Amino acid sequence: MTFNTRESSRYTGQPVKLYLVQGVNTDDDVPLGPFAYTNGETPITRPVLNAVGAPVNVEFQPWPIKNSDLSHDGTLDKSDITVTMANGSEMDDLFLAYPPSQVVNLTIFEGHLGDEVTEANYPATWMGRIVSGAYSDTNEIELSGLPVSTSIKRPGLRRNYQVGCPHVLYGPQCRASKPAATVAREVVSVSRNKITMETTLGGTYGLYVGGLIEWANSSNGRRELRTISAVHPAGLEVTIRGIARGLAAGTHLALSRGCNHQMTGCNQHTNSVEGGSNIHNYGGQFAIPLENPLSQKNQFY
C-alpha cells in the first residue's frame, strides 16, 4: 500500500515516526550526527540527505520518543514542537548544561509499518532546528524545536536610526578581519568557566571582552564556541559564558577580539578587504542631533 492509502484507511494503518537529528556542516568542523530514532519496535532504514546534502541510508533505532501535536491549520505560526525522549541517548551529552555550538537540525518523517520504506511512503512532516534541551524529573529530556518558517518570517528591515553599529562583528556588512583580530594561546588550567593561559593577552586584553573563544572538543573533535565575558588583570585568565566542554590543559585556543559597536571599537579593527581601519564600514549614525528641529530634547540619546 501507499502512504495515502494507509492514512485514509480505518483499520490497516500502523503509523510510525522517524526522527533525524544532525548538525549543519561547516568546512572547519567535525559533522554532528546523524542521530536517528524511531518510536517503532524494530529498526527502519530510510534514505536521507546528510549534512552536506549527499543521499545516504540511515538506520533509525527504536527508542522511547514522542513529540507534541503538530498544527495543520494552514499556517506555520503554531508549528513549534517539543520532542520528549528517554534518557540514555546521544542527546544527553549534546545538550548537557549548554547547547552545542553548531545549529542542530531536526526532521520528522511519518509512515506506516508494512509499507516499503521510500521517500514517498515516509515523507517529512516537520523540519526545523532544536534550540534547547531540558531534563525532567521522569528521566526524560525535552527538546524544543522551531520550524524552518522562523527564518522566513524574520523582518527584512533590521537597521534602525541609531548611534551604535548594528552589524554582526566579522559579518559581511562589518567586513572586519577576524584573522587579524585572533591570537592563539594554550590552556594551562580550567576551573569551571575560568580558563588560565600560558601567555598573557598583552596590554590590550580589555579588547577581548565580548569576543569569541574557540577550541576543538577533546572527546569528539567538534568545534566549541563561547563568548568571552571577562578578562582578568594581566590577561592570563578569561571567563566564558557557558561551560568549558571538552577543554583540558594543553588544548589550543583561538581568541578573537570583541567590539563595543561604537566608532572607537571600529577603529580598533582592520578591514578584511582593503586593510587599514574598518571605520568606513561603521553602520551607525554618529551625528544624530541631541535636539530636534522643534528645540525639544531628544529623549532617546
Could you read off the pLDDT of 32-78 as tens digits, one per residue? Answer: 888 999 999 999 999 998 877 788 899 999 999 999 987 666 555 55
Written as tens digits, the pLDDT of the chain (301 aa) is 566 666 666 666 788 999 999 987 555 567 788 899 999 999 999 999 887 778 889 999 999 999 998 766 655 555 789 999 999 998 888 887 788 888 899 999 999 888 888 888 899 989 899 988 888 877 899 999 988 876 655 556 667 888 899 999 999 999 999 999 999 999 999 998 999 999 999 988 999 999 999 999 888 888 899 999 999 988 999 999 988 888 999 999 999 999 999 999 999 999 998 888 999 999 998 888 777 666 666 555 5
Contact yes or no for 145/80 (Cβ under 8 A): yes
Cα separation, 39 vs 43, whole angstroms: 9
Domains of the chain: 3-152 (no CATH), 179-258 (2.40.10.170)
- The whole model's pTM is what? 0.78
HEC string for 115-148? CCCCCCCCCEEEEEEEEEEEECCCCEEEEEEEEC
Closest by Cα among 108, 118, 112 to 14: 112
CA distance 284 to 270: 18
CA distance 35 to 22: 6
